[in-house]
Amino acid sequence: MGTFRKDLCETHQLGSATREWLVGTREVPAFLPTHTRVAGFSDARFGYRFVRNDPIFSQVLSCTEGEGEVLIGERWERCGPGHTYVTAPHALCAYHARPGRRWRVCWVLYEEQMHLPGIERGDAPRLVRADARGLHLAIEGLCHEAGGEAEPAAIEFWAALVHRQIMRVLQPAGGDPRLDELWRAVRGDFGGAWNLGRMARCAGMSVESLRRLCNKEVGRPPLTHLTHLRILFAADLLTCTGEKIESIAARAGYADAFAFSNAFKREMGVPPSVYRSRQKQEA
């Protein structure tokens, strides 16, 4: 591990021995609702080096094999299997492969308007523990499908799986068991009358403790995360069923279809009717 150098220049370099596979919105229109910019995986060798002084996107880069180095604060830190480098928009980040070492990584870039758990504009990069094997397999499957049969429905499902795996990396299991119990209860009753009081009782803590713990563990307040989970559930129903939007709204916990439509658009970028129409067109 080395110390930080003040003269780092913007660098986007694969190196002659690196092999890389990636897909973007042109190949995967299903990236658009989640503001995914590009996803890929790299079999990196020495010469693979990236420095971004003011990126306009967030990135999740996970190592599945070998070892590279990532910039954390003012030091280079080793990034090996089970480690993920998480970077935010408009914050210096850098990473590279080491001499004589293979470094297999998978990665996803999100547009700045996508609010990922625990990632805020300008946050310093961090290195977290996460098993990214599922993410790697999902990205590899997506790249394989996009470069082969390119069946729209299959691409859509691979893209959804990639995003779900990113959520698992950023919100790994094995966190506070009280929150794990709460989110299990929420998933079993999305249409229930959830409020801060009920959520706090389910988690076995005070409302203020729930707020603090939820912000720490998932990067957002409890009610905001509840909305996020409900909208993901609704998006699955819109894609996989022919239910009326009013019925889906109720199942997702919204008595008012108009309020549901507004919440869905804030989270997914388009109203539920447009989202469903796009899924049908791509199927």
> What are the CA-CA distances from residue 101 to residues 48, 131, 135, 226, 254 (Å)?
11, 21, 22, 43, 52
Is the pLDDT at 6 greater than 60? The verdict is: no
Q: What would the two tokens of residue 179 be? A: 């929150």
Position 191 in a domain = yes
Out of 154, 170, 186, a domain closes at: 170
Ranking 135-144, 170-179, 228-237 by mean pLDDT, the lowest is 170-179
State the pLDDT at residue 218.
Answer: 75
* Whether residue 162 is found in the same domain as residue 195: no
* Whether residue 105 is found in the same domain as residue 231: no
What is the domain-level CATH number for residue 208?
Answer: 1.10.10.60
* Mean pLDDT over the full length of the chain: 90
* Whether residue 166 is found in the same domain as residue 255: no
* Whether residue 154 is found in the same domain as residue 202: no
Out of 170, 203, 228, a domain closes at: 170
Position 46 in a domain = yes
Is the pLDDT at 59 greater than 90? The verdict is: yes
Mean pLDDT of 210-225: 87
pLDDT tens track for 37-53: 999 999 999 999 999 99
Position 200 in a domain = yes
Residue 106 host element (H or E): strand 103-111
* Whether residue 123 is found in the same domain as residue 181: no
Is the pLDDT at 115 greater than 80? The verdict is: no
State the pLDDT at residue 184.
Answer: 87
Domain that holds residue 126: 11-170
Ranking 114-118, 151-155, 202-206 by mean pLDDT, the lowest is 114-118
- Dihedrals φ, ψ of 257, to 5°? -65, -30
State the pLDDT at residue 129.
Answer: 87
